[in-house]
Amino acid sequence: MRARMAMVLAAALLAACSDKPGDKTGEIAATDAMSKAEVKAEIDKVQLKPGQWEGRFTVQDIDLPNAPAGVKDQMKRVMNQTSLRYCVTPEQAANPSAEMFSGQEQRNCTYGGFEAKGGKVSGKVSCKAQGGTMNATMSGSYAPESYAMDMDMKMDGGPQAMAMTARSEGKWIGPDCTMDK
């Protein structure tokens, strides 16, 4: 359950949009890099309502240039059928970044442009792993009972190049958490 909550919060809270260097590819210029403490301070501004939430991740477009025929459409179909319910505890609602950044110390990620203000959240992340680089730029909105995030992700190098645009949305259902679906 925590992994689901972290995934949805990460998708909802990691975001990017600015006119800074590297913006078109999602790369973060060294002069724009932020410390984890700076990112956490921005994410801590997001206030979520504790209780039962429902989230959906929708792939709008996916490009897998080296994949066999039909794989792109199959991935899109499978990923777009995913809707999940999860519980946000009062502790998680008060500190949404705690789950999101746990375990990140071992990853080679750079964060930049994070800002949460007036119901809008933006930022970007660039991670290096397995001979490749993943760059993500995202922007969206949040409120205590809902969020919506548009994402543009690109993976270069490594075993499979990929580009994807997607949307993550969530809404608060009620104060009582259940373990179904």
Judged by DSSP in three states, 151 sits in: strand
- Tell me what pLDDT residue 19 has: 32
Q: Which residue has the tokens 């997001």?
A: 46
In a domain, 58, yes or no: yes
In a domain, 179, yes or no: no
In a domain, 120, yes or no: yes
- Tell me what pLDDT residue 29 has: 63
Confidence class for position 107, pLDDT limits 50, 70, 90: low
pLDDT tens per residue across span 122-170: 888 888 877 788 899 989 998 899 999 999 999 887 777 889 999 999 9
Element (H, E) at 71: helix 71-80
User: Is the pLDDT reported for residue 68 higher than 90?
Assistant: no
In a domain, 152, yes or no: yes
Burial class (CB in 10 A: 0-12, 13-18, 19+), 166: buried
| Highest mean pLDDT (candidates 106-120, 143-157, 167-181) | 143-157
**Greatest Cα pair distance in the chain:** 46
pTM: 0.70
Instruction: State both tokens at 8.
Output: 């949805």
In a domain, 93, yes or no: yes
In a domain, 130, yes or no: yes
In a domain, 17, yes or no: yes
**Nearest-CA neighbor of 28 among 151, 160, 133?**
133
Domain limits for position 119: 2-174
Please count the structural domains in the chain.
Answer: 1
In a domain, 89, yes or no: yes
